[in-house]
Structure 1
Amino acid sequence: MDLSMMIEAVVVLSSGLRLTLTLTILALATGFVISVPLAFVRAFARPALSLSVLAYTYVFRGTPMLVQLFLVYYGLGQIEAVRTSIFWVVLRDPFWCALLTFSLNSAAHTTEILCRGLQSVPKGMTEAAATLGLKRFQIARLVTFPIALRISLPAYGNEVVSMIKGSSLASTVTLLEVTGMARQMVSTTFAPYEIFIVAGAIYLLLTSVVVKAIRFLERHLATDGSRRQRRGSRLAPALPDAGVTTP
Structure 2
Amino acid sequence: MSVRIRLDVSYDGTDFSGWAVQPSRRTVAGELLGVLERLFGAVEGLTVAGRTDAGVHATGQVCHVDVPQERWEAIGAALIRKLAGLLPPDVRVLAARAVPSEFDARFSALARRYEYRVTDAPHGADPLRRRDTLAWPRPLDLDRLNAAAEALVGEHDFAAFCRRKEHASTIRAVSRMDWRRDPDGRLVATVEADAFCWSMVRSLVGAELAVGDGRRDPGWPGTLLTRTARADEVVVAPAHGLTLVEVAYPPTPGLLRERAELTRRRRDL
TM-score, with structure 2 as normaliser: 0.24
The structure with the largest strand share of the pair is: 2
Identify the structure with bigger relative contact order (alpha carbons < 8 Å, sequence gap 6+). Answer: 1
The structure with the largest helix share of the pair is: 1
Structure number with larger C-alpha Rg? 1
TM-score, with structure 1 as normaliser: 0.25
